[in-house]
Amino acid sequence: MKLVIVTVVEEFHKDILKLFKAAKIENFSESDIDGYKQGQSNVSATNWFSSLAGSTESTMFFSFTESDKIDALFEAIETFNSKLETNNPIKAIVVPIERFI
């Protein structure tokens, strides 16, 4: 069992749900997040309380699942990202799980 974490901009929310379904990952969680790119110095001391300045509405998904399903998901994400015309690809990482109950 491994933990897969996926982040997407809000525009691709429905797409990633389809990719999870195609990979047969049926159990997952999601959380709304704000994404930031540091290249343009979006966060500054003078703008401390402005949480929306330079942010992008995004979603983080995570699932504890089997390696073969994660492999299928990664293949689907790579195919999806290869067709994008934006600079916001779906990003995913895998974390091995040492113990679980």
> What is the C-alpha separation between 6 and 4, in angstroms, rounded?
7
Q: Which domains does the chain have, with CATH numbers?
A: 2-38+51-96 (3.30.70.120)
Q: Which ranges of the chain have pLDDT less than 70?
A: 39-54
pLDDT confidence of residue 27: 96
pLDDT of residue 32: 94
Ordered DSSP codes for 38-69: GGG----GGGTT-TTTT-EEEEEEEEEE-HHH
Residue 86, pLDDT score: 85
